[in-house]
Amino acid sequence: MRLAVLASGTGSIYKAIVDANIDVAVVLVDRPCAAIDLANTNQTPCITLERRQFGPDFDRTQFSCDVVAALTEFNIDVVAMAGFGTVLDAPFFEAYEGRVLNTHPALLPSFPGWHGVRDALRRGVKITGCTVHIATLDVDEGPILAQAAVEVLDDDNEATLHERIKSTERHLYPDTIKKFLADMEAHT
């Protein structure tokens, strides 16, 4: 199974995947970011499809088609979202139906969306965590593959809680990816 990683930021999730000895065929980014340098360090091909529009003029469908075309060049079977900042549209999810993994910093279905950590703190929950799920066109709605709980401490702020969630995520996500890839291999 050939795995692509889609990233937009520091590359910490991508690094956790590589550190878990998971072979990554290609990294795709939507903006200049540290994940590019990490891909270069790991001698992994890296595609930059820079998103230049962020308002109503952004053609999400065309951008999604461009992502599919780029990944097709590498014969990708499975995609791991690793902090990818662009929500993709139907052509992407049709091309990789049931084969896009994502991680989210909350225990879905609670606190979906961009601000899961902040929303958990505002709600006053005592336990939150991270979820690995199949990504679908409906954001944070896909089938859950794995979850891990993280205690919310009395003195937590968004940064401290998010860092503890990320620490858990850096183990849970690679482990779940390995299992998912092995299950796919077994069924092909």
| pLDDT average, residue stretch 152-169 | 97
Question: Where along the chain do its domains lie?
Answer: 1-97, 102-170
SS3 of residue 84 by DSSP? coil
Architecture of domain 1-97: 3-Layer(aba) Sandwich (3.40)
Report the alpha-carbon distance of residue 20 to residue 18 in Å, rounded: 5
Mean pLDDT of the chain: 96
pLDDT value of position 188? 78
| pLDDT average, residue stretch 13-20 | 96
Peptide bond into 109 cis (omega under 30): yes
Please state whether the predicted TM-score (pTM) of the whole model is above 0.85: yes
Angle between helices 12-19 and 158-186 (to 10 degrees): 40
Please report which confidence band the pLDDT of residue 53 belongs to, taking 50, 70 and 90 as the band edges.
Answer: confident
Please give the positions annotated as active site: 104
Please report which confidence band the pLDDT of residue 126 belongs to, taking 50, 70 and 90 as the band edges.
Answer: very high
Q: Are 104 and 140 in contact (CB under 8 A)?
A: yes
| pLDDT average, residue stretch 102-124 | 96
The residue written with tokens 């919310």 in the block is: 152
- In angstroms, how far apart are the furthest CA atoms of the chain? 49
Q: What percent of the chain has pLDDT over 90?
A: 93
pLDDT value of position 54? 86
Alpha helices in the chain (DSSP H): 12-19, 34-41, 60-72, 90-95, 116-123, 158-186
**Fold type of domain 102-170:** Rossmann fold (3.40.50)
SS3 of residue 155 by DSSP? coil
pLDDT value of position 55? 87
Please report which confidence band the pLDDT of residue 4 belongs to, taking 50, 70 and 90 as the band edges.
Answer: very high
Q: Are 91 and 61 in contact (CB under 8 A)?
A: yes
Please report which confidence band the pLDDT of residue 43 belongs to, taking 50, 70 and 90 as the band edges.
Answer: very high
Report the alpha-carbon distance of residue 180 to residue 52 in Å, rounded: 33
Q: Are 106 and 131 in contact (CB under 8 A)?
A: yes
pLDDT value of position 148? 98
Angle between helices 12-19 and 34-41 (to 10 degrees): 20
Report the alpha-carbon distance of residue 90 to residue 149 in Å, rounded: 31
* Out of 51-65, 67-81, 142-156, least confident range: 51-65
